[in-house]
Amino acid sequence: MAETLAEKLEKSDLGHWLARFESFMIFVGVAGPFATVPQLIKLYFTHSQHAEGQSLISWSLYALLSLLWFVYGLVVGKLPIYLGNGISMVLNLLMVFGIMLHAGYTF
Amino acid sequence: MAETLAEKLEKSDLGHWLARFESFMIFVGVAGPFATVPQLIKLYFTHSQHAEGQSLISWSLYALLSLLWFVYGLVVGKLPIYLGNGISMVLNLLMVFGIMLHAGYTF
């Protein structure tokens, strides 16, 4: 099997950068889901009249996908995967409920 | 370190289910990003008048996050991570451009 960039980096002088990048991505995995907060503020508080522009299909799929990654993270015992996707799942479900509340059934 | 559920499964009669679940999650990682397609259809074609309800901050952060995971996937040599997030990055950037096109600068 071909050596990955990560394996090459580990052997080189750049090895300590890889460790930092991995730590940073753990932070990204947990903090990233909160990117949905401005979208939730628009949907619930400031731009509810535009709720029909939100795709109920897309947000329902996001909720399902984050549930699958949450379960996968638990199975493989990776905290950034299950914590990050657990947070995503809650926020995505809030989007689904908000769309149904303000726009009803839509695609 | 505590044994993960995956390690326990591997040793049990359920081991073959774990392999199937992992294969399924590779499919999910690559197919999942296409969940954004209905949202893009609403933004560009059917509900452009509601573009202001989309959060430019959220979608810009999604684009940035998918770029980071794309780079991380390349570094660790995991195809489902870089392929899935490469697709996400393109679709998220299309959302960012669509919001700016139909709603201009917004939060």
Q: Which residues of A touch B38 (CB under 8 A)?
A: 55, 57-58, 107
User: pLDDT tens, B37-61?
Assistant: 999 999 999 999 999 999 999 999 9
User: pLDDT tens, B15-25?
Assistant: 788 889 999 99
Predicted pLDDT of residue A1: 58
pLDDT value at B14 more than 90: no
What is the number of H-type helices and E-type strands within chain A?
5, 0
| Distance between B37 CA and the closest CA of chain A, angstroms | 7
Predicted pLDDT of residue B30: 96
Predicted pLDDT of residue A86: 98
Answer yes or no: do B25 and A77 touch at CB < 8 A.
Answer: no
For A9, the token pair is 């980096």
For B76, the token pair is 């660790």
Q: Which residues of B touch A59 (CB under 8 A)?
A: 39
Tally the residues of chain A: 107
Question: Quick check: A96 contacting B, CB < 8 Å?
Answer: no
Alpha carbons B107 and B103: distance in angstroms, whole number = 10
More confident residue, B13 or A64: A64
The ipTM of this complex is 0.90
Predicted pLDDT of residue B1: 59
Q: Do residues B53 and A42 touch, judged by C-beta distance below 8 A?
A: yes
Predicted pLDDT of residue A52: 98
- What DSSP designation does A42 have? I
Instruction: Tell me how far the alpha carbon of residue A104 is from its chain's centroid.
Output: 25
Q: Which residues of B touch A53 (CB under 8 A)?
A: 42-43, 47, 49-51, 53-54
Question: Quick check: A5 contacting B, CB < 8 Å?
Answer: yes
Question: How many other β-carbons are positioned within 10 Å of the β-carbon of residue B104?
Answer: 10
Alpha carbons A101 and A82: distance in angstroms, whole number = 28
Predicted pLDDT of residue B72: 95
Angle at A86 between CA A96 and CA A42, to 5 degrees: 40
Amino acid present at B91:
L
Q: Using CB atoms, which residue from B35, B50, B76 is nearest to A53? A: B50
Q: Which CATH class, in words, describes the domain spanning B26-103? A: mainly alpha
For A101, the token pair is 């509340």
Tens-digit pLDDT string for chain A (107 aa)? 578 888 887 777 777 888 899 999 999 999 999 999 999 999 999 999 999 999 999 999 999 999 999 999 999 999 999 999 999 999 999 999 999 999 999 99
Would you list the domain boundaries of chain B? 26-103
Q: Using CB atoms, which residue from B41, B61, B76 is nearest to A4? A: B76
Question: Quick check: B102 contacting A, CB < 8 Å?
Answer: no
- What DSSP designation does A3 have? P
Predicted pLDDT of residue A23: 93
Q: Mean pLDDT over residues B73-92, rounded?
A: 95
